[in-house]
A and B are shown apart, each in its own frame.
Chain A
């Protein structure tokens, strides 16, 4: 008893997580912790205590270790915010929140849609959308909000086309999805946003099920290959579709805006991409943007399902871990001068902006292709693009699940 009481008092002195991040980088505290306490106990809003992990190697190993569960209903699971807890407590989980073998089964129903090869076949469709959006910007008013005019519509249109959701419904989704990932919103509104999206998906499945073979899209194939033969429950399909829709547009949109911002801040890099004719140069630049910004900042939260002795650190069953991919991506053991944005950077080990382990991003070939097309074309078409407000006036999302810009007024 005495020990337990002491423990609780000690726990109250633990630092409160999450720490405040900066506009262009993760919480500065990570830098010191990575050196002095690579496994650091921290306290969450609800008093739950979890291990904050900040080194690249440890983050990768823990994310790849299936003794840790991604299921928020598992006892001890570390919920970063109250809203997350409310949402995951009420909603049917998608496969991003499930463990093998359930996770494996649901994810594998979609892997063929996101292979390297399959995604490359979408290049001309994506190029067309990018060209059209650039034309619209060039012929429209200045200044313009880059997020609204370009960064958000691109991935939204692409994922909707792939899934087979009518273009006319994009506003509906963007609005609901934005509400759901915010942290400063009434939990009831976030829950309702999820309900709305899922109702929509349910109706769409019913509609397309009338003649699914007519629909040459992910949903059409899902109905024919999985739902109709009885491999996939309709409710699981609904949830997977919502996941793809949300993960497919929020992320790339934020990455696009932050990427352009980095180029605006580093005119030499903008110039380099403007003059560039080589695909590899763009690829490296995109990888650096992904590493440097690591927009999904709080993913990878897991809980131990058994005692794990990790190189002498005893992680008890039911204890949460917070392997921070944005901390890992600034680990000087792997990335030279990690705080510097260097579009020609090469490292022996790849960044973990798409996570690691069985949940590593399913959509990464798509995200990479979209970003590749953007950073091939934009610096050539609008090289003079610049901020229309001082940097200090930009509105960043900060401690939201996905970092990014709320808006970014630009001109040229």
Chain B
């Protein structure tokens, strides 16, 4: 499973970092999302989902190995 981000949608609200600091950061220069760990294993799925649920702008999602959106 993979985390993908779309920086053009990101509003730098930092929800992803607050909920899942192990998976996300914000760029110091523009405050936009940086995915720290793109390929995640089962143990990180719940963390990743929490970030996706909290993101206000739809800038991050989870995709399967074929690139299909799953969360």
A contacts, CB < 8 Å to B: 63-64, 104, 107-108, 110-118, 348-350, 354-358, 360-362, 364-365, 368
Contacts and interface: CB of A to CB of B under 8 A. Distances in A.
A362 B31 CA distance: 11
Interface in B6-47: 11-15, 17-19, 21, 25-32
Contact of B32 (A111, A354, A362): A111
B56 A355 contact: yes
Nearest to A360: B56
A59 B21 CA distance: 27
A112 B31 contact: yes
B17 to A, nearest CB: 4
Contacts of A112: 12, 27-31
B31 A115 contact: yes
Contacts of A117: 17, 25-26, 28
A118 B27 CA distance: 10
Nearest to B8: A104
B11 A107 contact: yes
B54 to A, nearest CB: 5
Nearest to A112: B31
B27 to A, nearest CB: 8
A191 B18 CA distance: 38
A356 B14 CA distance: 12
Given A114-B31, A116-B17, A117-B28, A360 B11 contact: yes
Contact of B30 (A108, A116, A360): A108
Size class of the B contact interface (CB-based, 8 Å): 20 to 34
A364 B12 CA distance: 11
A355 B12 CA distance: 14
13 contacts: A104-B11, A111-B12, A112-B29, A115-B28, A115-B31, A116-B14, A117-B25, A348-B53, A350-B15, A356-B56, A357-B56, A364-B14, A365-B14
Nearest to B19: A350
B31 A111 contact: yes
Contacts of A115: 12, 14, 17, 26-28, 31
Nearest to A350: B54
Contacts of A113: 31
B58 interface: yes
Nearest to B58: A64
A357 B57 contact: yes
Given A108-B31, A364-B13, 4 more contacts: A117-B28, A350-B15, A364-B14, A365-B18
A354 B55 CA distance: 12
Interface of B: 11-15, 17-19, 21, 25-32, 53-54, 56-58
B53 A349 contact: yes
Nearest to A103: B11
A354 B27 CA distance: 22
A110 B53 CA distance: 24
A365 B53 CA distance: 17
* Residue among A110, A111, A112, A350 having the largest count of chain B Cβ atoms under 10 Å: A111
Nearest to A349: B53
B12 A108 contact: yes
A333 to B, nearest CB: 14
A348 to B, nearest CB: 7
A63 B27 CA distance: 25
B31 A358 contact: no
A117 B19 CA distance: 13
A348 B52 CA distance: 12
Contacts of A365: 14, 18
Nearest to A356: B56
B25 A362 contact: no
B34 to A, nearest CB: 10
A-B complex: 4 closest residue pairs judged by Cβ atoms: A111-B31, A111-B12, A360-B56, A115-B26
Which of A64, A115, A117, A349 has most chain B Cβ within 10 Å?
A115
Contacts of A108: 12, 30-32
A412 B31 CA distance: 43
A114 to B, nearest CB: 7
Contacts of B19: 350
Contacts of B12: 107-108, 111-112, 114-115, 362
